[in-house]
């Protein structure tokens, strides 16, 4: 099997990392990632293998146990935004065609203790920042959102969310 593309996932994650480990600080994590990306660029040139997509791990650490873009803690939201900013830059640097958002922990743990509208407003603000930064850095890659980004364990959660927040809706394109 001839491999023509690669993807990177999980940078800045202490538990699962396929490109660079997490450092003690965000700055150290970014430095470790940059060192690996230098090598990735060299390997892309020497092999002809290109980057299909990049993504940030915003779900497998305790930091994001209450979501990343939907987190009520501004510090966690800001860390997630900084992490995505770096991944956007790296994806551009490697010539990636897509930036993928997987958010298996976005949204509520229980509809009993959440403000669905607030969480969706946070997610919308996050994506608006992503779109603005993409334009600022001149990136042309596609932004892809995995269906798991949306809070829903099934139809009952969707109906409950609609009752709590009448403007709640989801459009999923596969």
| 165: confidence class by pLDDT, cuts 50, 70, 90 | low
Q: What is the pLDDT of residue 48?
A: 93
DSSP state of 45: H
> Could you tell me how far CA 152 lies from the centroid of its own chain?
18
- What's the rounded mean pLDDT across residues 85-90? 95
Indicate if the pLDDT at residue 21 is higher than 50. Answer: yes
Q: Are 141 and 97 in contact (CB under 8 A)?
A: yes
Q: What is the pLDDT of residue 38?
A: 94
Cα(119)–Cα(135) distance, integer angstroms? 25
Q: What is the pLDDT of residue 64?
A: 84
Q: What is the pLDDT of residue 16?
A: 53
168 or 21, which is more confident? 21
The SS3 of residue 120 is helix
54 or 20, which is more confident? 54
27-73: pLDDT as tens digits: 998 998 899 999 999 999 999 999 999 988 887 778 888 888 888 88
- What's the rounded mean pLDDT across residues 79-86? 93
Q: What is the pLDDT of residue 162?
A: 54
Cα(15)–Cα(12) distance, integer angstroms? 9
169: tokens are 């809706």
Q: Which of 161, 147, 8 is nearest to 87 (CA)?
A: 8
Q: How far is the CA of 20 from the CAs of 13, 64, 82, 93, in angstroms?
A: 8, 19, 16, 16
Element (H, E) at 100: strand 98-101
Question: Which residue numbers are catalytic?
Answer: 9
Indicate if the pLDDT at residue 17 is higher than 70. Answer: no
115-164: pLDDT as tens digits: 777 887 888 899 999 999 999 999 999 998 875 545 444 444 555 555 55
Q: How far is the CA of 44 from the CAs of 38, 117, 164, in angstroms?
A: 10, 43, 49
Indicate if the pLDDT at residue 172 is higher than 50. Answer: no
Question: Hunting for tokens 């890659």 — which residue is that?
Answer: 141
Total residues belonging to the chain: 174
Cα(104)–Cα(91) distance, integer angstroms? 21
């Amino acid at each position: 099997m001839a491999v023509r593309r690669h993807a990177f996932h999980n940078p800045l994650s202490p538990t699962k990392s396929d490109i660079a480990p997490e450092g003690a600080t965000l700055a150290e994590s970014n430095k470790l990632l940059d060192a690996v990306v230098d090598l990735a660029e060299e390997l892309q040139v020497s092999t002809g293998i290109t980057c299909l997509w990049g993504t940030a791990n915003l779900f497998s650490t305790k930091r994001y146990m209450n979501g990343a873009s939907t987190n009520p803690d501004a510090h966690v939201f800001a860390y997630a935004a900084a992490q995505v900013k770096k991944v956007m830059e790296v994806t551009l640097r490697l010539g990636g065609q897509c930036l993928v958002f997987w958010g298996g922990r976005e949204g509520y743990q229980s509809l009993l203790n959440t403000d669905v509208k607030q969480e969706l407003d946070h997610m919308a603000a996050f994506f608006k920042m992503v779109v603005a930064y993409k334009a600022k850095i001149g990136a042309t890659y596609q932004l892809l959102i995995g269906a798991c980004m949306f809070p829903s364990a099934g139809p009952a959660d969707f109906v409950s969310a609609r009752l709590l927040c009448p403007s709640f809706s989801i459009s999923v394109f596969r």
